[in-house]
Amino acid sequence: MSFIIFKLDCVFSKNLSDTALRVFWTGSLRIAGCNGCCKRWYFTFNGVECKTPQPIDGIVMGGGTSQNIHSVRHIEGHCSKIKKGKVRVGFWVGNCRGYRNANAYTGYVSVSRIFIAEVPTPQS
């Protein structure tokens, strides 16, 4: 069984320390070749997942080895407490906790987008 590992890095210039980054992914995600599997797509900031207010992620679960469904998905969130300056924003795919590996496809035969914007920190 082969596996596709996906990682995308973008460099964003953050102007202020007291703002948040709003990020989202819109595009095709898929898992295949597995039974009862789960993959997790998530954002990182300078190599680590967001802690404030929480990680920004989404999952896709599969239920059969013959499944081949490509679906447009949207993953969105805000990340606070990031210092101003250059920020490396990453979009990764990995296994969900407690699940074995499976084939993961990101952005297959479709237009997919990552959006990054500096915004005021969301209210609690």
* pLDDT tens, position by position, 49-88: 999 999 999 999 876 666 677 789 999 999 999 999 999 9
How many beta carbons lie within 10 A of that of residue 62, not counting itself? 22
**Would residue 53 count as lying in a domain?**
yes
Q: Is the pLDDT reported for residue 5 higher than 60?
A: no
The model's pTM is 0.88
**Would residue 90 count as lying in a domain?**
yes
Q: For residues 87, 58, 37 and 64, what is the CA-based torsion angle, rounded to 10 degrees?
A: -130
Quote the pLDDT of residue 123.
Answer: 76
What is residue 70's three-state secondary structure? coil
Quote the pLDDT of residue 10.
Answer: 86
**Would residue 1 count as lying in a domain?**
no
**Would residue 33 count as lying in a domain?**
yes
Q: Domain limits at 30?
A: 8-119
**Would residue 43 count as lying in a domain?**
yes
